Amino acid sequence: MEFYDTIKDLDWDDVTRSVYAKTDRDVRNALSKEMLTLEDFKALISPAAEPYLETMAVMSRTLTQKRFGKVMQFYIPMYLSNACSNHCIYCGFNHNNDIARKTLTDSEIMEEIAVIKKMGYDNVLLLTGEFPRYVGVDYIEHAINLCRPHFSAINLEVFPMKTEQYERLAKAGANTLYVYQETFNEKRYKVYHPKGMKSNYRWRLGTPERAAQAGLHKIGMGALIGLEEWRTEMVFLAMHLRFMTKNYWQQKYCVSFPRMRPAAGGYQPSFLMSERQFAQTLWAFRIFDHDVDIAMSTRETPNMRDHFVTLGVTSMSAGSKTDPGGYAHPNTNLEQFHINDDRTPEQMEAMVRAQGYDVIYKDWDRGLN
């Protein structure tokens, strides 16, 4: 049974109402448990949990330190291409947007590698738009081969593939796949993804399962905050996480809930998540799953990222660029979105260490395979 089969008959509005129906008693019951159910998770992200945020923060810090120690992992994205055949109305790479398109050559990839290595990184996240005709499996496999001598871990955020294609990339040296459903609301999905490969809701939803079947070590999942009611999105994300950890328990998992940032096209979010609500969501996930990696990108402000170092986040990007070739030759006209925290890795590391935490620049070592 696929994850799609477990949610296809759920009504979005019914799930929303079930979250808002949670009571103070439901929240206190959830906070008293060692292992939470989905109904407990609903309670923790409901409005009824807002008076308990301090309690949730303390629990999140304790659980995170117990499982991960006082360590923050740094990661960095390397955009290989902004060519994209999709028409996602909120994305800077939208095929309809009048922006310059660039796909890195071998020499340009090597330039990016050189800059990223000087920053101290031993793991890299390779990203592309979704345009297999120009940036397909062959291109991505070749990019992995170029990166492999220089990094212990190579992570991917690329278009959804077949299981055998993920097997091929895993064999080449890929460790991790990140794929975001953007919204779990199937009835509204086409509104945001009207054309292109990404318009296939079910194909995208099944991507983490195919990646796990291919043997990739780690899988990242999430939803883009700003498209639909965020509390409902988080319920479906929690369901997805629980499904994956139950059926593909050998893998490691990461969740992220990026909030929308300004990008070419000028799309404005319909649903806002405040910093306080972001905190509630993050702590709810930590209490729901003690082992999941929780990532926070440079979409968030420096002040906000500073405050979450000790409160449940386990990985942060630092020194990020969202334009292809942006480390060696920055060009904001090529970027996917504007970042919110432009501090260097050195500045970020100093901030993290000032709070008593260590920093690591790698995630996984091929020698452990």
In the predicted model, what is the mean pLDDT of residues 265-278?
88
In the predicted model, what is the mean pLDDT of residues 144-172?
97
In the predicted model, what is the mean pLDDT of residues 146-151?
96
Question: Residues 12-24: pLDDT tens digits?
Answer: 999 999 999 999 9
The answer to whether 255 and 220 are in contact (CB under 8 A) is: yes
Q: Which of 138, 243, 222 is nearest to 178 (CA)?
A: 222
Instruction: Determine the pLDDT at residue 329.
Output: 93
The answer to whether 64 and 292 are in contact (CB under 8 A) is: no
Predicted confidence (pLDDT) at residue 367 exceeds the cutoff of 60:
no
| Separation between Cα atoms, residue 219 and residue 245, nearest integer Å | 10
| Separation between Cα atoms, residue 311 and residue 55, nearest integer Å | 12
Predicted confidence (pLDDT) at residue 200 exceeds the cutoff of 60:
yes
Long-range contact set of residues 165-171: C-beta below 8 Å, sequence gap at least 24:
165/137, 166/210, 166/211, 166/213, 166/214, 166/216, 167/214, 167/215, 168/137, 168/141, 169/137, 169/140, 169/141, 169/144, 169/214, 170/214, 170/215, 170/216
Q: What percent of the chain has pLDDT over 70?
A: 97
Give the count of beta carbons closer than 10 Å to the beta carbon of residue 71. 14
| Separation between Cα atoms, residue 45 and residue 22, nearest integer Å | 9
Q: Which has the higher per-residue pLDDT, 264 or 2? A: 2
| Separation between Cα atoms, residue 227 and residue 270, nearest integer Å | 6
Confidence (pTM): 0.95
- DSSP for 230-261 reads HHHHHHHHHHHHHHHHHH-TTSEEEEE-PBP-
Predicted confidence (pLDDT) at residue 339 exceeds the cutoff of 90:
no
Task: Give, as one character, the DSSP assignment of residue 225.
Answer: B
Instruction: Determine the pLDDT at residue 268.
Output: 85
Q: List Cα–Cα distances, 178 to 126, 209, 249, in angstroms.
A: 10, 12, 17
Predicted confidence (pLDDT) at residue 232 exceeds the cutoff of 60:
yes
Q: What are phi and psi of 182, to 5 degrees?
A: 70, -65
Predicted confidence band of residue 264 (pLDDT cuts 50, 70, 90): low
Question: Residues 281-307: pLDDT tens digits?
Answer: 999 999 999 999 999 999 899 999 999
User: Tokens 């399962």 belong to which residue?
Assistant: 209
User: Which element (helix H / strand E) includes 99?
Assistant: none
Predicted confidence band of residue 337 (pLDDT cuts 50, 70, 90): confident
| Separation between Cα atoms, residue 143 and residue 104, nearest integer Å | 10
| Residue 299 structure tokens | 């979409």
Cα torsion angle, 330, 336, 341, 345, sign:
negative
In the predicted model, what is the mean pLDDT of residues 166-189?
97
Predicted confidence (pLDDT) at residue 263 exceeds the cutoff of 90:
no
Give the count of beta carbons closer than 10 Å to the beta carbon of residue 355. 12
The answer to whether 210 and 243 are in contact (CB under 8 A) is: no
CATH of span 3-368? 3.20.20.70
Average pLDDT, the chain: 94
Instruction: Determine the pLDDT at residue 92.
Output: 81
C-alpha angle 348-352-354 in degrees, rounded to nearest 5: 115
Question: Residues 20-53: pLDDT tens digits?
Answer: 999 999 999 999 999 999 999 999 999 999 999 9
